[in-house]
Chains A and B, each alone.
Chain A
């Protein structure tokens, strides 16, 4: 069975580069993967994952927000890497991951559309035009202590707006940013969630086959054989043991955070990140039982001897036993612990490392406390299910490996990796094995989870191979093809005279003029993805829709373009009820349905506001 799984994984690994090698240069959205999230009611974090071999210019970022009531402060740009450029002198660039904190002041606006403009190049010797990426965020009301909102991936990209901004003159580069962007601040608000997760992992670790059966024995040793004592005293002793263990783990976490902080530059290196991911895969293998990872037996027994010399029944003694026990890393705990420490070193945060590992230690000790307090009444029965817990950690470690390499590989590869992980996990959960008659509730539940994982994995597989490059909506690409909407009926205009006549005849109705050409890719994308959207169509229904097809590029076409100071399509111009162009509302370049619907709303609202 395992052989088959490995074969499939291998085949997927082979298929991935084939899908990725379609084009040598990445599309800007893949070269500079963008996301944004709300850190606090007054701060947004913008994140770029720059693919290896690509870089962004530090002084070319520009941020804007909609609606206008939202004010953005000076972006806090971390220091970049100095690059000597024979033309521009010393410029600062970003590679790998960049996080930019953006102070924001919103007067009551909950929904914010953030437009981030960036410009970068590839080491291959090409540059991308300034590129706009958009994220929609929900800000908590100012003053309330609401936590951060789930990060949103960039949902829409209007590709050439940044270019137009450039052509109409930059408003200069953003000011110098503070460089105190520590991880601690990035985890602001999320810290408790992380600590809670580590506590949960610790608890789960205690349910693995090499820990759980030991707990009652351990409890006996701690309390001290032959001693009769109250439950309160037993609990206190257990607590001392657990505390000793948790503090040792915390120390390990602090060390991991420190080493990460010292190696921060190296940790940006794709090779280092790649080998970290490989280590995670190796660790995962141990959890699936391909091999065992643990401290050398000699070291383990030496530690055990030291522990045995300490006496149970005394607070200081059991505290020391706990501290030593954390160092005796058994086969079930070794891999997840190493994974946790690697993860912490990636985060490069000492406080986070210490507290997360402390929480994990507490989690691992929780069953011991329960046993101490309840005198063994509150113990789950050991059984085959503990193997499942162990495998769960294997899947978790693989997931972390994918998460680590995600910024370094094309999105297609990432999607295929998730597909492989989900499908294989689903199979392991007996998604396609028939349930035996009279199956237990747990088996049925596991099969249900397995089927979900399998279906989700297949969705990623199909989506990735169908050219979809969206982690959140792997099948979105298929949807638009499956249900093509009726094309929008445009009235053709071919000259300025025809335009004036038509606009004059449509007095009382808003007018939209779309410049189009057969060779204009953005125009086709607009047609396919934006005009076909029901929300957009609903709004466009109330408008006179004109289209100038300038493919032939006749003198009349050029006059038409010149009149609107356009060099060529794509471009959408709006006119008010009086037939005057609505200033500042033109759409240049591709815009996806939701932002475009907002522009249409503004055009319609402008109408109502006009005298």
Chain B
């Protein structure tokens, strides 16, 4: 994929910084609710980014990233609730805890490939709500009731609303994490991660410590998703075990698939997408009933499910990858096959669409 032009990136960032400040001028367009929605989109983007690091760039399938999201959210919530830690200090703590949990889960995952890893992580995702309700942890986790927190307060007496502040908070974290992921992937380590994805044995022969890279990638990926969980805990100011069910992990998966497996920009698109569909479920349902004449509700998950299947057939590299391929074929005619290009390995776990992370 082409490098995203730097000047457009700057324009985007400036827009993202300036638009929330227009709230007093355009109270209807830039409402608190919309700012909050965009904050949740950014949180989702971080979570999908984490999953993409593992599945898209390292080829390890995870259906259980909701578990790490839960660990991050609960770490943050417990630290705020029990230790009175300020909300911003919980992010590094959640990152460390999730890194350790992810690294430890990565150890048995070393022995598993493809379907079996998917199965193990699927089992993890199913078991998470129960683990959170475990009786011995009740003192910390609040059991079924969960933990009620308070929203981040605006510091230094800045003239911002809570939602504006939350927006900037999430934005800074997202930009930092995106930048970090970008740098990791364009380094020696990142190339090693992708080499392992593309051809495990060859990477091993080249002298890459595959076990180390795979477990550390698992840890980093879990840390990213855990940070997203911690952010969500302070954003919605509440955590409860049953919100971390298998469908949370499915949402991350839809974000990954829609955005593009192995694409950093795609992760952002994917995160935005799933929050958008999730939030317009009501509108979607009305549309299906009135305009399509369906007799029953059309829920967000039906759309997700259909999209998952259709995308796997039509655009296995995700919407971003698909649009790019379309754009390229329109602009430069049919792609010229390089006779010297190495053939892709037949059985890689994912479909590497891009070597570069953009």
A and B together in one complex: no
B interface vs A, CB < 8 Å?
none
